[in-house]
């Protein structure tokens, strides 16, 4: 009778991982006191075939766009790794999830392991050490020994990784182990199953991709805002660091008045994993129509009160400003 090994725990990549392994009813606990990058490690080891193309595992899957009625009208765009990935995400139900309205989302995604060469193990990636730690973890879970005498360092060819991406949650946060104050993309992988003929691991994982860093362009893509920008909070003497005391301005145009609260909440949701107690102060701006003496609320601005500073596009952000411009009817009244 084959033994089935279940690893039912949540593995993170920035803190010590406490692994609870159950085999034949006897729990065994183990700790790994180091940082790991499972996202890149699994991307090196596991891949699948689609339309004669090899696709490596990634925390953000390679999704195929749903055809539009008239694709000939789409404007060609320059490829950018980060923005191309972000286009596959959408803010929905207060969380950033896969955009399954515009892309085909498969519930079952299967990736096959491979024989890992010594050269692949000794990757030139700047995250080499934490990638190797993650690879070693995988080998340890399945009791796969390294071969120090052959070109093949680890044989993972009998492993299969199954992932269900549909319930994944994506978010931006700092990685305290990286030498940056920027917010990078993380994911909570709801379900990953790795198995061979006699062992199985069923886990939720937390991954990060430091190549996807929050920018004003990414903010506009996720929030459907317009021309968000970075500007000075106050005018500084030239001798001062030009990257200090900056504000992030997020602009929304033609917003129905009843959607104002949801619009503000979308910004809060974007930053909630970085700072869940972020507070804003409200400011109302009015306009006076030429036809009468009444005043119409045309814009509402919110300013953050307690933002923990972070970097975006090499600027240190000390404040977030949300500008909500209302949609006006033909009479100049806000809707």
DSSP 107-153: S-EEEE--EEEHHHHT--STTHHHHHHHHHHHHHHTT----SSSSEE
Calpha distance 210→186 (Å, rounded): 8
The answer to whether residues 30 and 103 belong to one domain is: yes
Domains in the chain, number = 2
Chain segment 185-229, per-residue pLDDT in tens: 999 988 899 999 989 998 889 999 999 999 999 999 999 999 999
Quick one: pLDDT at residue 284? 72
pLDDT, greater one: 59 or 21? 59
Neighbours of 84 (CB within 10 A): 12
Alpha-carbon gap, residue 293 to 130, rounded angstroms: 66
Instruction: Give residue 99's pLDDT.
Output: 93
pLDDT average, residue stretch 285-306: 71
Evaluate whether residue 93 is within a structural domain. Answer: no
Beta bridge partners of 251: 323
Pair 39, 133 in one domain: yes
CA separation, residue 251 to residues 76, 86, 222, 230, 232 (Å): 25, 19, 13, 11, 16
16 vs 97, more confident: 97
Q: Residue 252 domain-assigned?
A: yes
Task: Report the mean per-residue pLDDT for the chain.
Answer: 82
Residue 138 forms part of a structural domain: yes
Query: Which stretch, 12-26, 221-235, 321-335, has highest mean pLDDT?
Result: 221-235
The pLDDT of residue 299? 87
Of 166, 187, 213, which residue is a domain's last? 213
Residues 164, 225, single domain; the answer is: no
Mean pLDDT in residue range 42-61 = 92
Residue position matching structure tokens 């010594």: 118
Give the C-alpha separation, 303 to 283, whole Å: 8
Same domain, yes or no: 198 and 227: no
Q: Which residues contact 331 (CB under 8 A, 6 or more apart)?
A: 289
- pLDDT classification of 74: cutoffs 50, 70, 90: very low
What per-residue confidence (pLDDT) applies to 191? 84
Q: Of the candidates 197, 213, 229, which is a domain's last residue?
A: 213
Assess if residue 22 is contained within a domain: yes
Q: What is the pLDDT of residues 159-185, one digit of tens each?
A: 999 998 988 999 999 998 887 899 999
Tokens of 141: 């879970």
Tell whether 315 is covered by a domain: yes
130 vs 182: CA distance, rounded Å? 20
Q: Please, are residues 250 and 225 in contact by the beta-carbon 8 Å criterion?
A: yes
Same domain, 242 and 269: yes
101 CB-near residues (< 8 Å, 6+ apart) = 66, 90
Q: Which domain holds residue 221?
A: 216-326
Same-domain status, 125 and 248: no
**Comparing 164 with 10, which gets the higher pLDDT?**
164
Residues 42 and 141 in one domain: yes
Output the pLDDT for position 332.
52
Q: Are strands 6-7 and 17-23 parallel, antiparallel or unpaired?
A: antiparallel
Q: Are residues 267 and 321 in the same domain?
A: yes
Phi, psi (5° rounding) for residue 225? -90, 175
Half-sphere exposure for 285 (CA within 13 Å, toward CB): 10
Same domain? 173 vs 273: no
> Do 57 and 147 share a structural domain?
yes
d(CA 237, CA 93) in angstroms, rounded, equals 44
33 has pLDDT over 50: no
For residue 79, is it within any domain?
no
Radius of gyration of the chain (CA): 24
Considering the domain architecture, whether residues 140 and 170 belong to the same structural domain is answered as yes
Q: pTM for this structure?
A: 0.82
Residues in the chain: 335
CA distance between the termini of the chain: 69
Decide: 87 and 222 in contact? Cβ < 8 Å: no
Is residue 191 within 8 A of residue 161, CB to CB? The reply is: no
């Amino acid at each position: 009778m084959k033994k089935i090994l279940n690893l039912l725990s949540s593995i993170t990549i920035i803190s010590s991982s406490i692994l609870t392994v159950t085999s034949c009813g006897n729990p065994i606990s183990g700790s790994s006191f180091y940082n790991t990058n499972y996202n890149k490690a699994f991307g090196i080891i596991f891949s699948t075939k689609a339309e004669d193309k090899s696709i490596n595992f990634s925390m953000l899957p390679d999704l195929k766009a749903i055809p539009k009625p008239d694709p000939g009208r789409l404007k060609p765009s320059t490829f950018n790794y980060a923005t191309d990935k972000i286009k596959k995400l959408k803010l929905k139900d207060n969380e950033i999830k896969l955009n399954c309205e515009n892309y085909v989302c498969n519930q079952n995604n299967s990736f096959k392991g491979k024989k890992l060469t010594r050269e692949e193990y000794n990757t030139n990636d700047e995250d080499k050490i934490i990638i190797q730690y993650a690879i070693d973890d995988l080998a340890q879970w399945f009791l796969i020994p390294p071969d120090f005498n052959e070109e093949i360092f680890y044989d993972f060819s009998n492993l299969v990784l199954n992932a269900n991406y549909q319930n994944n949650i994506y978010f931006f946060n700092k990685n305290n182990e990286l030498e940056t104050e920027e917010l990078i993309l993380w994911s909570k992988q709801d379900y990953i199953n790795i198995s061979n003929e006699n062992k199985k691991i069923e886990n939720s994982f937390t991954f990060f991709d430091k190549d996807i860093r929050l920018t004003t362009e990414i903010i506009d893509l996720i929030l459907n805002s317009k021309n968000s920008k970075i500007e000075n909070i106050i005018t500084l003497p030239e001798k001062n660091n030009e990257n200090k005391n900056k504000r992030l301005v997020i602009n929304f145009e033609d917003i129905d008045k009843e959607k104002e609260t949801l619009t503000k909440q979308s910004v809060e949701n974007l930053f909630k994993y970085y700072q869940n107690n972020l507070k804003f102060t409200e400011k109302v701006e009015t306009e006076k129509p030429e036809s009468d003496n009444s005043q119409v609320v045309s814009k509402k601005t919110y300013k953050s009160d307690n933002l923990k500073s972070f970097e975006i596009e090499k600027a240190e952000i000390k404040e977030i400003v949300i500008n909500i411009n209302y949609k006006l009817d033909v009479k100049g009244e806000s809707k």
